[in-house]
Amino acid sequence: GIQVEQSPPDLILQEGANSTLRCNFSDSVNNLQWFHQNPWGQLINLFYIPSGTKQNGRLSATTVATERYSLLYISSSQTTDSGVYFCAVQEYGNKLVFGAGTILRVKS
């Protein structure tokens, strides 16, 4: 099956800093989503981005499908950005395959 790798596994930032999270995947995909899992476990949809670039406030994402990677940019980080960021790609039949996640901690 498809493999999804995220890097870095852990990241500590000072408030106000910028960061880039990476997601590599091993095969062509129909869908790629980025999620933020908050401390209570809720997965929050950040981007649905099978290709191209999108921006939403301080967050933006780029997927280069031909090279099988996606990047999530967080600018001017805030303590509320802390949590786990997951990349997930859609395999056949609507099934999402998740990466291992990046644990982000933003210090004030």
Partner 1 sequence: GAVVSQHPSRVICKSGTSVKIECRSLDFQATTMFWYRQFPKKSLMLMATSNEGSKATYEQGVEKDKFLINHASLTLSTLTVTSAHPEDSSFYICSAPIAGNSYEQYFGPGTRLTVT
Q: Is residue 33 part of the contact set for partner 1 (CB under 8 A)? A: yes
Beta bridge partners of 74: 19, 59
Nearer CB in complex with partner 1: 43/59: 43
Under the binding rule (CB under 8 A), the answer on residue 65 touching partner 1 is no
From the list 19, 23, 25, 35, which residue makes contact with partner 1 (rule: CB under 8 A)? 35
Binding residue (CB under 8 A) for partner 1 from 15, 55, 58, 95: 95
Helices (H) and strands (E) in the chain, counts: 0, 11
Q: How far apart are CA 62 and CA 71, in angstroms?
A: 5
